[in-house]
Chain A
Amino acid sequence: MRRGLMSWSREELPASVLDERVARLRAGMERDGLAAVLVYTSFAEPAAVHWLSNFTPYWSEAMLLVLPAEAPILLASLTPRVHGWIREVSHLGEVVSAPRLAQGALEMLAGKGVRSGSRIGVVGLDSLPAAVAGPLMKGWGTASVVDAGPLFTALRQPCGKEELALANRALAIGLAAVAGVPGDVRNTSELAAAIEASARAAGAEEVLHRVAPDLSRAGALRRLEGEFPLGPTYALELSVAYKGHWVRLGGSHARGARPAGWDAVEAWVGESLSRLAETGADGLAAMPARQSRWSLESCVGVQPLTLARTHEQEFVHLPPGSLAVFSAHAALDGGGHWYHSAPLVLGGGGLRGQVLGG
């Protein structure tokens, strides 16, 4: 669940921005001949509903119904007792209690006069939970329920200035937390506690940590369950959410002398980030390391970050102006491992992006 501050700042994200996003979705619905679009949300797949309404369920699940001519309707499995809270943190039309989401959606579609059997779209249909998908398809007709994922992905990026500002705020929270880690931190528990105390006090909605506790031994970033001693060098990755906006940042840290190979790979990542912000991901130079890999992630669907590209393959094309996270891992020539991760706005096609600075 989300454990930090969940709220909506109308100053940071005006309702008009959310209205404009919904309008873009409606334009796509009209092009694709969709009478309605349903978007599922849980905290594993919160991103699409949040982008359209600023709502993320702290628990349980919900569906957003977008119709051509009225404010989005939230069907919520959450108890009606929290509908007041939902309204505080979201920009919505009706909020309807729907313990069984599919049945609630079917009744709402009928109640709103959507013609039975007309085409409706679901963002992320393939991953829609079976308990929702089954009754929905049975009730509406499988052939009439289509995947609206490609439609949504096509309009999700590039990011707007409000989203960029919120991502910068999330990054600043993460950077301040990392800067505040005591130099004599001994283990992953102390590390995580220092990070969370800082980030949550600064208003982080969530902080997820992955740590490679000893880069001289292994570079794999692990979930923190239990406690691990930190080696002379370690890597820390933070995924920070601020008011529903996620960024990922990470780096390698030396508690004593910096390993010899770090300067070269850090120079490489600096050059790569500059290039990504200027021209995009094509033609990045090879990393000066024994083994290496990199990835680009972006918010293009229901997950906060989706894998868009690796050093080997492109999975989702990100247009210039996309808010993305660049991550690089290396096994160094002289031994040991290294890791870095940073958010940026991709450039290309004459558009100049930027590396986020917090």
Chain B
Amino acid sequence: MSTKLGQERGARLRAAMEQAGLDLMVVTGNAWRSDYLRYVLDVTPMEGQAVAFVTANDAWLMVETPAEAERIAAEQPGLNVAWHADLLARVRKALDAARPERTGLAPAHSTPALLACSAAGAGMRASTALLDDLMVRKTAAEADRVEEAVRLADEGYEIFRAAARVGRKEFELVGELEAWLRTQGCPENFMIMGSGGKEVRTMRPPGERRLAAGDLVTTELTPCLDGYYAQICRTLVLGDPTREQLDAYQVYLDALEAGIAAVKPGNTHGDVARAQNDVFRRHGLGEYVTSKYTRVRGHGMGLYVDGPHVLEDVDLVLEPDMTLVVHPNTYHPVAGYIVLGDTVRVTAGGCKVLTRTPRELRSAPAVSA
């Protein structure tokens, strides 16, 4: 991350802390939820728990192992990093010594129980909301980072498409893409996929199934660059698409267009979801956008899945430089599971579609690997 972006995030955090009357912000994370730590100290834990301490003019980090301490200290010269095998007990002691009304603790969801039970734990929801607000309402520099990650998503999808060949096992296909992503300096990629016909009702991690002629091959590809993620969702056919597949796919094209048209300042996540779902309902497919199938019509993109999902009952108001993926992914009773999604950036007048990969139902040759 650039020094300038780090300073910008630090300044926003400290201004928010001052406004909230906080002298100390304690932020926890691990390899599963590293986004809050990433925001406050640009740290990504690989193993174990990590806890950041941020004050008006200082910051330090505590981790569980010497390997993690040495790694992070090397990656972040100037950051004070200490390790303790009994990390949580040590942090709990520090929290007990702090003034709870002036101490923030976050995130409320994943902070370890021993810390959440401290007096500072009572304010976890407010502290988490403070950080969520900073992370969802991005600066232009942060949205620029998401744009850079979209380039990787677009290029990565072409690698995926080229690697999709009859006879190949799903995990071999994903392995080829992951190796390519490493050549691009990309450390992380969230990815699930599906392959087959009407019997496929979702995506999941790659398995040992071999791709077959006529398969719909779906993927949700989410590379990370400088901590910021971008997502692309696409479906391809191994061989020529059938009339039924093309007709089914048109609904998703229309839904994506409708969803993106609803992305503008002042509209809500609910508006974006409704615009997509209305297309399905007009085609008599309303059942397939309920929780019985897939109801999430997108989500924020940033240091993680930002903020609440794109659902009809979510009233998060869109603002310029928010970034999100719009994806009407769900099961179609004629064609099977279809995915299609673009990452977009909210602008003053509407939105900029960042994803450049063509949206049409593309095919890959049905030839053996």
Chain A hits for B226, CB < 8 A: 225
- Contact yes or no, B70 A220, CB < 8 A: yes
Interface residues in B92-112 by Cβ distance below 8 A to A read 108-112
Question: A190, A197, A226: which contacts B176 (Cβ < 8 A)?
Answer: A197
Please tell me if the beta carbons of A189 and B185 are within 8 angstroms of each other in the complex.
yes
Residues of A within 8 A of B293 (CB): 81
A221 to B46, CA, bound (A): 12
Enumerate chain A residues within 8 angstroms of B110, measured Cβ to Cβ.
129-131
Contact across chains for A220 and B71 when beta carbons are under 8 A apart: yes
Complex-state Cα separation, A6 to B207, whole angstroms: 7
Asked whether A134 is an interface residue with its Cβ less than 8 Å from the other chain, the reply is yes
Binds B, one of A25-33, A37-45, A161-169: A37-45
Contact between B174 and A200, CB atoms less than 8 A apart = yes
Q: How far does the alpha carbon of A221 sit from the alpha carbon of B115 in the complex, in Å?
A: 29
Stretch at the interface among A11-19, A64-72, A270-278, A303-311: A303-311
Task: Identify B113's interface contact among A4, A79, A125, CB under 8 A.
Answer: A125
> Nearest Cβ distance between residue B104 and chain A, in whole angstroms?
14
Q: When chains A and B are docked, how far (Å) is the Cα of A131 from the Cα of B46?
A: 22
Query: Given that A126-B113, A130-B111, A190-B183 are known contacts, is A293 also in contact with B66, CB under 8 Å in the complex?
Result: yes
Task: Tell whether A303 pairs with B185 under 8 Å between CB atoms, given A129-B113, A220-B74.
Answer: no
Please state if B183 and A45 are interface contacts (CB–CB under 8 Å). no
Q: Are A193 and B183 in contact (CB under 8 A)?
A: yes
**Alpha-carbon distance between A223 and B206 when the two chains are bound, in angstroms:** 25
Determine if A81 and B201 form an interchain contact, defined as CB atoms under 8 angstroms apart. Answer: yes
Nearest CB in chain A: distance from B92 CB, A: 9
Query: Is the CB of A218 closer than 8 A to any CB of chain B?
Result: yes
Chain A residues positioned under 8 Å from B287 (CB to CB): none
Within 8 Å of chain A (Cβ to Cβ): is B44? yes
Which positions 186-214 of chain A face chain B at CB distance < 8 Å?
189-190, 192-197, 199-201, 203, 208, 210
Query: Which B residue's beta carbon lies closest to that of A204?
Result: B175
Give Cα distance in the complex from A285 to B351, angstroms.
65
Indicate whether A203 sits within 8 Å of B204 (C-beta atoms), given known contacts A130-B124, A220-B71: no
Proximity string of chain A (29-58) to chain B, C-beta cutoff 8 Å, 1 when within and 0 when not: 000000000000011110000000000001
A44 touches B32 (CB 8 A): yes
Chain A interface size band reads 35 or more
Known: A59-B190, A81-B294, A200-B178. A130 touches B116 (CB 8 A): yes
Distance in angstroms between the alpha carbons of A200 and B112 in the assembled complex? 32
Which A residue sits closest to B1, measured CB to CB? A225
Residues of B within 8 A of A304 (CB): 47
Q: Residue A227 at the B interface, CB < 8 A? A: yes
Q: Which residues of A48-99 have CB atoms within 8 Å of chain B's CB atoms?
A: 58-59, 61, 79, 81-82, 85, 88
**Could you say which residues of chain A place their CB within 8 Å of the CB of B85?**
307, 313, 315
Knowing A5-B206, A45-B30, A221-B71, say if A201 contacts B191 (CB, 8 Å): no
Are A129's CB and B31's CB within 8 A? no
State whether the Cβ of A327 lies closer than 8 Å to any Cβ in chain B. Answer: yes
Contact B30 A224 (CB under 8 A): no
Point out the residues of chain A lying under 8 angstroms from B47, CB to CB.
303-305
Bound-state CA distance A82–B202 (Å) is: 7
Instruction: Determine the chain B residues whose CB is within 8 A of the CB of A220 once the complex forms.
Output: 70-71, 73-74
CB pair B205 A2 closer than 8 Å: yes
Least Cβ–Cβ distance between A293 and chain B, in angstroms = 7
Q: Closest residue to B227 on the A side, CB-wise? A: A225
Interface membership of B208, Cβ < 8 A: yes
Q: Does B8 contact A (CB under 8 A)?
A: no
CB of B70 within 8 A of CB of A221, answer: yes
Asked if B247 is at the interface (CB within 8 A of a chain A CB), the reply is no
| B172 within 8 Å of A (CB atoms) | yes
Chain A residues with CB under 8 Å of B114's CB are 125-127
Known contacts A130-B108, A133-B116, A310-B66; is-contact A196 B74 (Cβ 8 Å): no
Shortest CB–CB separation between residue A83 and chain B, in angstroms?
A: 10
B180 at the interface (CB under 8 A from A): yes
CA distance A50 to B7 in the complex (A): 41
Interchain CB contact under 8 A, B70 and A196: no
Q: Which of B64-80 contact A (CB under 8 A)?
A: 64-67, 70-71, 73-75
Closest beta carbon of chain A to B219's beta carbon, Å: 12
Q: Which residues of B contact A208 (CB under 8 A)?
A: 46
**Is A115 interfacial (CB 8 A cutoff)?**
no
Q: Please, how many angstroms separate the alpha-carbon atoms of A37 and B67 in the complex?
A: 31
Cβ of A7 within 8 Å of any chain B Cβ, yes or no, is: yes
A3 on interface, CB distance cutoff 8 Å: yes
The 9 closest A-B pairs by CB, nearest first: A200-B175, A133-B113, A220-B74, A130-B116, A81-B202, A44-B32, A197-B179, A192-B182, A5-B171
A-B CB contact pairs (8 Å), 22 listed? A1-B190, A4-B178, A4-B206, A5-B205, A5-B206, A43-B32, A58-B204, A58-B205, A85-B204, A127-B88, A127-B114, A130-B124, A196-B178, A199-B175, A200-B178, A220-B71, A220-B73, A223-B187, A224-B187, A303-B47, A307-B66, A327-B67
Binding site for A on B (CB under 8 A): 30-33, 44-49, 64-67, 70-71, 73-75, 85, 88-89, 108-117, 121, 124, 171-172, 174-176, 178-180, 182-185, 187, 189-192, 201-202, 204-208, 226, 293-294
Q: List 11 additional contacts besides A6-B205, A223-B44; criterion CB under 8 Å.
A: A5-B171, A5-B206, A43-B32, A44-B45, A127-B113, A127-B114, A193-B183, A210-B46, A224-B187, A226-B185, A303-B47
